[in-house]
Amino acid sequence: MNPTAPPAFSGIHHIKLPVTDLERSARWYGAVLGARRLAELDHHRPDGILFAVVLDVPGLGTPLELRLDPATASTLQGYDFLTLAVDDRSALDAWTAHLDTLGITHSPPLVALAGWLLVVPDPDGQRLRLYTTTPHGLDASRVEYDSPWIGTGPTTGRAHDGEPGPRGITTLTARPGKDRELELLLSEFAIAAHRESGCLAFRAHRGQQTPGTFIVYEEWASQQALDAHHATPRMDRFRTDVARLAASPPRTQPLVPCRRR
C-alpha cells in the first residue's frame, strides 16, 4: 500500500484544561493572563449544569477551555501543560513583578535548556510556564536539572544514596458533618505540598464506600525533604485544622518496597 500525505488542517482550534472549580480557575486566569470569559460559549448540560467555560487569552492565538474534571485535574498536578513565549530576561522579570503583586506562587527565574524559565502553578497545581525566546547564553552545566520546578521525565523516586525516598499512607476519618470541609482541606494541602522541593507525589483520596474516610499517599525524594515539609508553618496550620475536623488522630503507615528474592 502506497503511503499518502495526510489531509491539511488549519491550526489549533482550542486548548482544553481540566479544573476542579470553574469559577475559581476563570478568575485566576483572568487575573494572571488577562483572560476574558466568552460567556456566549459557556457549556451547559441539558439539565442546565455548567461544565466548561471558554476564555480569550491575549496573545495565545486560540481559545482556552476550562473543563470541569476534578479527577483528571488532580492526576495532572505538577504537569507542565502550556508554555508561553516571552522576549527575554527583562520581560520575564516583569512577569515576576506582576505575579508578586497578585500574590501568585511561582518559581524563581530558572536556567532552562535554551532560555530563562518561570513556572506558575495554577489553582489545581498544573504548571503554566513562561519561557524566553532569547537564549540565556549560559554554559550547559548551568541548566537547573535538579530543580523541582523543571520536569526531566519519569523519576524512580530514589534518594541520592540510591535508596528509595520515604513514602507513606495516612488515613483520616472525618467528624460527623465535617467530611466536606476535611475533603477541601486535604485537596488544597495536596496542591501546596506538591509544589515543595523534593515532593514526588502527594495525593488525597476519599473512600468510595466510606465517604468519611480519607487516604493520603505521599512520596518524597529524601528524608531531608520530608523533614523540611513537616517543619513548614503550613504543616502546623494543617495539624490544627485536622484536629478540629478529624474524629481521631491521623494514622500514618510508612511504606517500603517489596523485595525480590
Residues of the chain with CATH 3.10.180.10: 76-135
pLDDT for 156: 46
| CATH class of the structural domain 167-251 | alpha beta
pLDDT of residue 54 exceeding 90 = yes
What are 62's three cell numbers? 486560540
Are 165 and 159 a contacting pair, CB within 8 Å? yes
Instruction: Encode pLDDT of 211-257 as tens digits.
Output: 899 999 988 878 888 888 899 888 999 999 999 999 999 999 998 87
Instruction: Encode pLDDT of 71-123 as tens digits.
Output: 888 888 888 999 999 999 999 999 999 999 999 888 889 999 999 999 999 99
Residues 6+ away with beta carbon under 8 Å from 25: 17, 19, 66, 122, 123, 124
Fold of 14-69: 3.30.720
| CATH class of the structural domain 76-135 | alpha beta
Strand order in the sheet with 167-173: 199-206, 213-220, 167-173, 251-255
Residues of the chain with CATH 3.30.720.120: 14-69
Are 10 and 109 a contacting pair, CB within 8 Å? no
Query: Which has the closest alpha carbon to 73: 52, 58, 99?
Result: 52
Residue 194 banded pLDDT, cuts 50, 70, 90: confident
**In sequence order, what are the beta bridge partners of 36?**
56
Cβ burial 38-69 (10 Å sphere, 16+ → b, else e): eeeeeeeeeeeeeebbbbebeebeebbbbbbb
Are 80 and 119 a contacting pair, CB within 8 Å? yes
- Mean pLDDT, the chain, rounded, equals 89
Residue 161 banded pLDDT, cuts 50, 70, 90: very low
Backbone angles phi and psi of 75, in degrees to 5: -65, -30
Task: Using a cut of 0.75, tell me whether the model's pTM lies above it.
Answer: no
